[in-house]
Amino acid sequence: MRSAAGLVAGVMLFSACSGAGSNSTLAAPTSVPDPPIDTTSTTEPPPAVEACGDVPFVPSVLPEGVTETGPDVSAIPFDIYTTISGTTTSVWSSLEGQPLLVMIRGALPPARWLEAPEVIAVRDTDAALGPLPDGFWGVAWFEGPDRCDEYSIILYPPADADLVRAIAESVVAGVRLP
């Protein structure tokens, strides 16, 4: 059994919602039909993502501490920037194997800019430069309509806008040798 206060509150709520006391009428409730159930299924896996070719250029300005002969690639600690499916990554590292700079072909940075990126020119193309989470800095640009025409440069901490800009603006034709 409902209490009198609950009944009064319910009537007041109904009156407020229905426009009682005015000349309006309530529309009859309608039912929405359930969407058809899709009984088809596919057992085929999605197509494999094909890797892009090597990054066709290299920076002529590098961060301090980059070694000429880096460690074995298996010794480099992978992260969200170096493990994007279908990409090709060129890595410049320290003697200890810490990545200092990566160039990625086939993807833009997988993290949001922390602030509005600055527009700079890389290879006569507009590019976005800005800070990424955890002290990283990035530059990203397109050179064509294909996924493999997306490029990123990621600079590892400690990094700053001036250094990543100098690296990006120094990009020339060439391939990073292992």
- Two tokens, residue 109: 């940075």
pLDDT digits (tens, 9 = 90+) for 57-112: 889 999 998 887 765 666 677 788 777 777 888 888 888 878 899 898 998 888 88
d(CA 91, CA 176): 8
AA identity, residue 146: D
| Statement: residue 17 has pLDDT above 70 | no
What is the predicted pLDDT for the residue at 168? 94
d(CA 167, CA 6): 70
What is the predicted pLDDT for the residue at 70? 63
Instruction: Record the pTM.
Output: 0.68
d(CA 78, CA 128): 24
- Two tokens, residue 156: 């590892």
Cβ count near 76 (within 10 Å): 17
SS3 at position 18: helix
Confidence of residue 40 (pLDDT cuts 50, 70, 90): low
Contacts of 116 (CB under 8 A, 6+ apart): 130
Cβ count near 72 (within 10 Å): 8
- Two tokens, residue 150: 């997306």
- Provide mean pLDDT across the span 117-131: 94
| Statement: residue 20 has pLDDT above 50 | no
| Statement: residue 178 has pLDDT above 70 | no
- Share above pLDDT 70 across residues of the chain, in percent, rounded to a whole number: 68
Please name which of 136, 134, 135, 138 lies closest in space to residue 107, comparing C-alpha atoms. 138
